[in-house]
Amino acid sequence: MAGGAEAAKNFLESAFNKTKEVVGNAAISTKGLADVAIANVSKIIPGQAAAGTDPNAAAPPAPGTVVNGQPPAPPQ
């Protein structure tokens, strides 16, 4: 039975490593596609992707979110 357990462990490790590889490649591809999309949008609508912006910066808070104890600003 120990051989079966070792085979199962090896299979699971292999599957996990392959999953990490696939997810990593998907993330790289998605970032590349996003970069192309931003470049294309900025060609159509100048100023949409300012130079020097951090693509890994946190997104702004969702509307209605309390930030630093301050309620959201009313709509204008």
Per-domain residue ranges of the chain: 23-50
Closest CA to 55 of 26, 37, 35: 35
Q: Give every CB contact of residue 69 below 8 A, 6+ residues apart in sequence.
A: none
For residue 70, what are the CA distances in angstroms to 12, 45, 61, 65, 74?
48, 33, 12, 9, 12
66: its two tokens = 């309390």
pLDDT digits (tens, 9 = 90+) for 31-64: 999 988 888 888 888 766 545 556 566 666 666 6
Q: What is the pTM of this model?
A: 0.46
Position 3 confidence tier, pLDDT thresholds 50, 70, 90? confident
Given this model, what pLDDT does residue 53 score? Answer: 59
Q: How far apart are CA 62 and CA 42, in angstroms?
A: 24
Give the side-chain half-sphere CA count within 13 A for 14: 6
